[in-house]
């Protein structure tokens, strides 16, 4: 089943969970607001953070766990430290996290 997202962010995560090696890319996730979910396990309006992205041809995003997301409308791309992944999963906005951590994390 495909989940359609709006107000989405493709978030590239860097570093290791312990906060080291911040120059190496860990992977990426997609966050956004659910417009429609094919299996009805997530309600419209819910905010989600995907499992790690495997590939993203066009407006489709495939995760390592087999979920597929369709991206609706204009999205954004951000780079953040992997240490904020738990906060992303709790629904904290990537934009807010970007403002909070700033660019200093890259120096570690």
Q: Over 80: is that where the pLDDT of 34 sits? A: yes
Position 53 scores a pLDDT of 97
Between 12 and 40, residue with greater pLDDT: 12
Q: Mean pLDDT, the chain, as a whole number?
A: 92
CA distance 51 to 54: 9
Residue 17 has pLDDT above 70, yes or no: yes
Provide the pLDDT for residue 22. Answer: 87
* Residue 18: predicted pLDDT: 86
pLDDT in tens, 39-92: 778 899 999 999 999 999 989 999 999 999 999 999 999 999 999 999 999 999
pLDDT at 20: 87
């Amino acid at each position: 089943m495909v989940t359609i997202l709006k107000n989405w962010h493709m978030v590239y995560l860097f570093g290791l969970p312990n906060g080291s090696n911040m120059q190496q890319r860990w992977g990426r996730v997609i966050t956004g607001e659910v417009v429609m979910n094919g299996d009805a396990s997530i309600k419209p309006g819910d905010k989600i953070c995907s499992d790690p992205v495997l590939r993203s041809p066009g407006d489709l995003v495939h995760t390592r766990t087999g979920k597929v997301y369709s991206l609706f409308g204009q999205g954004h791309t951000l780079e953040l430290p992997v240490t904020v992944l738990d906060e992303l999963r709790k629904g904290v906005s990537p934009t807010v996290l970007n403002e909070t951590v700033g660019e200093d994390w890259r120096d570690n």
